[in-house]
Structure 1
Amino acid sequence: MTSQLVRIRHWRRYFSSLAAESTSPQCSASDIFLIEKILWALRRDHPLNPTLLHPLNPSSYTQVLLECCNSLYMSQKFIDGLASTNFKHSSKSFAAAIHVLVRSRRISDAQVMILRMIRRSGASRVEIVDSVLYVLEKFGSNCLVLDLLIRTYVQARKFREAVEAFELLKLRNVSVSINACNCLLGGLCRTGWIDLAKKVYREVIGKRTDLNVYTLNIMVNVLSKGGDVEEAQRFVAEMEKRGIFADIVTYNTLIRGYCFDGRIKKGFEVMRLAMSKCLEPCVSTYNSIVVGFCKAGQYSDAKEVLNEMRRNGVFPDASTYNALLAESCRRKDAVECEALFDEMSSRGLAPDLFTYSSIIGIFAGIGNLDRMKSYYEDMQLRGLKPDKIIFTILIGGLCKYGSVSDAMKMHDEMAKHGCVIDVVAYNSLLNGLCNERMVSEAHLLVDRMRERGVFPDFCTYTILIRSYCKEGNVDVALNLFNTMRRRNLNPDVVTYNVLVDGFCRIGEMGRAMDLKEEMFRNSILPNLITYGTLMNGFCNAGLLSEAFRLWNEMADKGISPNIVICNSLIKGYCRNNDTKKALRFLEKMRSRGIEPDRITYNTLIHGFMKEENVEAVVELAEAEKVVLDSVTFHIMIDQFCRSGRMRGAVSMYEKMMKEGFRPERSVFTSLINGFVSQENLSEAFRFHDEMVQRGFAPDDKF
């Protein structure tokens, strides 16, 4: 502290200009008389009368504390006496009170005073720093005030101000403790101010001789967060030369950095390096590697790390299992998810909200609503209160699989739990209502959103637009599209694609193409889905030349076609009764590395059957080794019936039954109508009776 005071006295001349509001020569006679009366009351331990304190100004306040500097009791009594009043401090009077409170070990009260000082309107960092240093020199007080000043700036998240105060102290040749330095660096790192943290270390802190392992760990974290883990490792080596050696926290930070970047092998190398220095890996070390493998989709490697942990006597924690659960959920492996959940519980680890969000999410995703609800109930039995994320997952699962009424009940339960229902949850409900064609209810829900201060986003409008497009109400959808833009919700490629699909469904290809051109004008690039939708629309309209013009445009823009687009073009050829060109296009697909799927073959078979070319179907099946599925059988039976070839239809029906496929109602409808058209009522009634035996009620389609 002595060396600090020597440096502060160096600035005595600098502070002389600030002395205007201190020392008795600058005080008026009335101020001096007031100060004496206050000191007289304090020395006799009399209560401080508010009327007595009313005329007090900041200069007199500072002078009273200066006179009482040898009695902490009197100083504190004076400060506390004015605490409940509306006394207006100056930076200097604040600084004087802060010094007294720090000396009295009332750190929290001192921090409150510092907060008031730094938030005071019009107070600059220069004024604050110089006031603190002035009082420090006058009072001979504790230099911990400087540390507390920096720490309070950081805790108040005033990082730029903290750095400015830090640099001002350096300019005045006054340094704070290494703990305050670490506090500032740590605060900058936690909030992502990486470049500023590097600058402060490089220009102010790095040359100090009292750096410690905490400084090392903070800077390793700073450099790793900045995306340069190699630089962080070099920094560790440099610090070792200065006699500051890394601990397991340092190595854990490096390992986490490498694993986050996907360089898990490097992470392993760092772990082995730590072990070579007799630093045993802990659960955090292994968790970083588990998370890294899970992020990279290498689940089996992550499980092997789990086994290595157990072999080395390191017990996995909830974070370990949560990482594995999240990856299992992403892989849609419900069996593995439940096994991990059970293992976690059997080891005495309490599942948290993240655990339940994963296990509930997997069953919501695959449509097992009973298991989803079961885990939701189990979570509540364990005393965990569901949060917004859990409720949104539940609502999404219920809506996706048609249980919209239950989703609405969950919405009400969410409100009862005090969760703020955000636009994501509302959009899930809207999607469910629209999928059930409950469009009027969807609009009522939008009105309720607005009443509760939740405003529709572009996703809300896209859901409603999609719903109207599916119903063929494209003009209503277009009005919503324009409303969306008027409200400064700029549609993205998804919204445009939905509207393009709507126009294609009703055959208005000109308006669909206009939208594509509008996308270009608005700097929204049409994607594979845009082109695929348009090409499918042209194929449905029999305009293959237009479809292939888009095919060429797509290729010019570097967008590679997929199997969906190729199937649309094959369908276009078949609808135009041109199966030969469809077969040639099949070879063109293959030359581009696109292999046909069942839809490709079924489309071709449907085309051949329309042409009554059964031989071509047989040739295709043999040449391509096509395995006939239920859809293929249905297509062939229907086409045989339409062409009056009932013997072939019955033969195909018997083959389908032999292959173990269950016929749908449409198969019986085709067979019955085919036999009725040939006035073969006995066969028609035979299939009618079989249809009824299989649980299909007859309708008016035959």
Structure 2
Amino acid sequence: MIRRPSIYLPTLFQSFSSSTFTYKTLLFSSSTLIILHDSHSKRTLSPFYNLLPPTQNPNNVVNLISSLLKHKSSHLSLLQSNDIKGILPQLGPHEISRVLLRCQSDHSSALTFFNWVKNDLNITPTVQNYCVILHVLAWSRVFAQAMELLAELIQMVEIEGVCASSNEGIYENLVGCTEDCNWNPVIFDMLVKAYVKVGMVEKGLETFRRNIETCLIPNVIACNCLLSGLSRFNYITQCWEVYEEMGRLGVHRNAYTFNIMTHVLCKDGDTDKVTGFLEKMEEEGFEPDLVTYNTLVNSYCKKRRLEDAFYLYKIMYVRGVMPSLITYTTLMNGLCEEGKVKEAHQLFHQMVHRGIDPDIVSYNTLVCGYCRQGEMQMCRSILYEMIGNRICPDSITCRVIVDGYARDGKLLSALNTVEELKRFRIKIPEEVYDYLVVALCKEGKPFAARSFLRRISEDGYTPKMNTCNKLVESLCEFNNVEEALILKSDMENKSMKVNVAAYRAVIICLCRVKRTVEAEVLLEEIIGSDMLPDVEISRALIKGYCEENKVDKAVSLLKLFAKEFQVYDTESYNAVVKVFCDVGNVTELMEVEDKLLKVGYVPNKLTCRHVIHGLQKAMELDDEILNHSLS
């Protein structure tokens, strides 16, 4: 509980300008309620409204709703009745706060009304409305719901800016509302924790500092929460600032505080300072516990200081702190990182003999260690041991073993292992299936990949889009364009997007097998899908048409790629030139070159060679014609 001596409250109010709020008489006993007087509405309404029936009088909206809320058995039904719908437009932010203030002694009614306004009337409460309900809940010690609303308010104000119309922030409004509300100082500690909870640790630290300036002494739980958040985001200097401030303010630090600071020391990289810190911790009456030792063991292992880590492991037994599964797994991982997998396995057996049951993490640690050393037989042995102990292999286990076999060039063993696991009714993660399909493609086995994909699809597996695209590419590399087109069609039926790489592979393959017209249809699909064709697609199509002696189509595509996509491929350009020159059609070539020059194509040395060859060819043809006519 936060300390609340009477001298702090005047300081709290005086720390803000008098224009924020005014107050009359406060009794400073922590058990005394603040006496409330209804404030008048800020609206200026006609006095003639008082001649209307109560349910139609806008002046009566606060009184009417407050009266309805007293009927506990039918809060919502009364609030949703037609009797008050006529005056609901008069329910503004000021009126909402007044209703909440009248419900201070009944937090359930206040919360019902607040949620009704927010959810049923679709009115976004102001920052002040939120602060009033927060004070009501905190005063009634309904801390869980208060924390939820605090996080919601922070999300709206600080992140989304929904309630940001007020010139004052959350903190100022919380303080301002203390004039009219019964309030519990713990709400200001909760604000620190709420900021940390949503990841805004800087705002949490700022609130912590403001609380101290206002003489609101934080409790150890709020301080520890802030320390944990600062540590998580690597605010090391600020951690020590808060820690020292706790000592200065007389906040009694506990074992959790020291464990957080031990973790901070380890993150700071200064593990050698830990000894002195532990001594100070013991001077204050706190013995290092399991969390402390596990933090240090983990830090030493990460720094590859295994001797120090195992020294602490032995000290734990001396101090009567029994190492846990986390301790053993951390040490095993440290040994595996050093390549000492057999020693890690021995430690694993020691752990089991001491009555600690291994979990999936400890087994995976050994599997990873043996896999890195290429000892796949030991990996399989551990895998079967896991299954025998009713520990189901997870995605990490499967992926590590499959990856190990693939790295050793033993994909068949990986596939067999997967089949064995399926016989044990172990669910194979889809990412492992995707990995295997892609691995088969990379090894140049697209037909095996396609067959494997069909088989596992019967079990309900749906491949990822990238996996299918990779398989399409691989099939085309081996000229199996029909199978690639079927797979492409399947993808489209399942609303999977065929990427440019897959389109490119199919187009190149179609052109290679003299099906350039079909390839051009795919070009139209690419353009229609808002994708951009590249140089390789351009080259495949143009060369395809050139090889089929459809030079007009090739020229047309050269222009299209240049004008629409700024793709200029000299190799494609020279392929077109060569077709004209091979038949000695230099006259038409000159006309085509003029057109191509206008769209940006520039001849090079190879173009000149082709033209010279074309001129020679033309001269030879002329001589043949002349000789034929003379004969």
Query: Which category describes the TM-score, using the shorter chain as reference length?
Result: 0.5 to 0.7
For residue 310 of structure 2, what is the aligned residue in structure 1? 268
Post-superposition shift, 1:320?
1.5
For residue 99 of structure 2, what is the aligned residue in structure 1? 64
For 1:150 and 1:187, how far apart are their aligned partners in 2?
10
C-alpha contact 2:469 2:499 (8 A) present in aligned 1: no
1:482-493 equivalences in 2 (<5 Å): none
For residue 99 of structure 1, what is the aligned residue in structure 2? 135
For residue 113 of structure 1, what is the aligned residue in structure 2? 149
1:27 corresponds to which of 42, 53, 73? 42
The code of the aligned residue for 2:405 comes to F
Match of 1:19, SS state, is: coil
- Work out the percentage of aligned pairs sharing the same amino acid: 25
Post-superposition Cα deviations, 1:124-148, rounded to whole Å, max 9, x if no partner, equal 8962012223334642333443343
Post-superposition shift, 1:69?
1.6
Larger CA deviation: 56-65 vs 228-237? 228-237
Is 1:373 matched with 2:415?
A: yes
The code of the aligned residue for 2:90 comes to P
Post-superposition shift, 1:406?
3.3
For 2:322 and 2:437, how far apart are their aligned partners in 1?
45
Post-superposition shift, 1:295?
1.1
C-alpha contact 1:167 1:204 (8 A) present in aligned 2: no
For residue 124 of structure 2, what is the aligned residue in structure 1? 88
Distance of aligned partners of 1:133 and 1:245 in 2 relative to their CA distance in 1, 3 Å threshold:
farther
2:435 corresponds to which of 385, 393, 401? 393
For 2:93 and 2:115, how far apart are their aligned partners in 1?
15
C-alpha contact 1:334 1:362 (8 A) present in aligned 2: yes
Distance of aligned partners of 1:187 and 1:426 in 2 relative to their CA distance in 1, 3 Å threshold:
farther
2:242 corresponds to which of 194, 198, 201? 201
For residue 615 of structure 2, what is the aligned residue in structure 1? none
For residue 575 of structure 1, what is the aligned residue in structure 2? none
For 1:391 and 1:411, how far apart are their aligned partners in 2?
8
- Length-normalised TM-score, structure 1: 0.57
1:421 corresponds to which of 460, 464, 472? 464
1:440-519 equivalences in 2 (<5 Å): 452=496
For residue 388 of structure 2, what is the aligned residue in structure 1? 346
Match of 2:4, SS state, is: helix
1:304 corresponds to which of 346, 353, 377? 346
For 2:460 and 2:258, how far apart are their aligned partners in 1?
45
For residue 628 of structure 2, what is the aligned residue in structure 1? none
Is 1:17 matched with 2:19?
A: yes
Post-superposition Cα deviations, 1:526-581, rounded to whole Å, max 9, x if no partner, equal xxxxxxxxxxxxxxxxxxxxxxxxxxxxxxxxxxxxxxxxxxxxxxxxxxxxxxxx
Post-superposition Cα deviations, 1:578-635, rounded to whole Å, max 9, x if no partner, equal xxxxxxxxxxxxxxxxxxxxxxxxxxxxxxxxxxxxxxxxxxxxxxxxxxxxxxxxxx
The code of the aligned residue for 1:34 comes to V
For 2:426 and 2:182, how far apart are their aligned partners in 1?
54
For residue 321 of structure 1, what is the aligned residue in structure 2? 363
How many pairs does the alignment contain? 464
For residue 622 of structure 2, what is the aligned residue in structure 1? none
For 1:378 and 1:432, how far apart are their aligned partners in 2?
27
Match of 2:21, SS state, is: helix
Post-superposition Cα deviations, 1:175-216, rounded to whole Å, max 9, x if no partner, equal 4332222223333444x4343663553564464532211122
Post-superposition Cα deviations, 1:63-104, rounded to whole Å, max 9, x if no partner, equal 222233223354344324323212232212101112334455
- Root mean square deviation, CA, Å: 4.2
For 2:488 and 2:277, how far apart are their aligned partners in 1?
55
Larger CA deviation: 83-92 vs 246-255? 83-92
Match of 1:135, SS state, is: helix
C-alpha contact 1:399 1:432 (8 A) present in aligned 2: yes
C-alpha contact 1:188 1:196 (8 A) present in aligned 2: no
Post-superposition shift, 1:429?
4.6
The code of the aligned residue for 1:291 comes to N
Post-superposition Cα deviations, 1:403-457, rounded to whole Å, max 9, x if no partner, equal 322324556758996778375x5796588558757799999999989x9568789
For 1:229 and 1:422, how far apart are their aligned partners in 2?
47
2:282 corresponds to which of 226, 237, 240? 240
C-alpha contact 1:136 1:143 (8 A) present in aligned 2: no
Match of 1:394, SS state, is: helix
C-alpha contact 2:447 2:475 (8 A) present in aligned 1: no
The answer for unaligned runs of 5 or more in structure 1 is 468-486, 490-702
For 2:440 and 2:419, how far apart are their aligned partners in 1?
15
- Length-normalised TM-score, structure 2: 0.63
1:181 corresponds to which of 202, 205, 223? 223
Is 1:162 matched with 2:177?
A: no
Match of 2:169, SS state, is: helix
2:252 corresponds to which of 210, 216, 228? 210
Larger CA deviation: 341-350 vs 269-278? 341-350
Post-superposition Cα deviations, 1:271-323, rounded to whole Å, max 9, x if no partner, equal 12222211111111111111011111122221222233234333332212111
Is 1:355 matched with 2:397?
A: yes
Distance of aligned partners of 1:438 and 1:311 in 2 relative to their CA distance in 1, 3 Å threshold:
same
For 1:420 and 1:199, how far apart are their aligned partners in 2?
50
Match of 2:20, SS state, is: helix
Distance of aligned partners of 1:257 and 1:2 in 2 relative to their CA distance in 1, 3 Å threshold:
closer
For 2:341 and 2:124, how far apart are their aligned partners in 1?
63
For 1:107 and 1:125, how far apart are their aligned partners in 2?
27
The code of the aligned residue for 1:193 comes to N
For residue 42 of structure 1, what is the aligned residue in structure 2? 69
Distance of aligned partners of 1:2 and 1:303 in 2 relative to their CA distance in 1, 3 Å threshold:
closer
Post-superposition Cα deviations, 1:652-692, rounded to whole Å, max 9, x if no partner, equal xxxxxxxxxxxxxxxxxxxxxxxxxxxxxxxxxxxxxxxxx
Q: Name which structure has the greater RCO, CA cutoff 8 Å, separation 6+.
A: 2
C-alpha contact 2:128 2:174 (8 A) present in aligned 1: yes
Match of 1:18, SS state, is: coil
Larger CA deviation: 395-404 vs 409-418? 409-418
C-alpha contact 2:2 2:185 (8 A) present in aligned 1: no
Match of 2:90, SS state, is: coil
Post-superposition shift, 1:105?
5.9
For 2:371 and 2:481, how far apart are their aligned partners in 1?
32
For 2:450 and 2:259, how far apart are their aligned partners in 1?
49
C-alpha contact 1:154 1:184 (8 A) present in aligned 2: yes
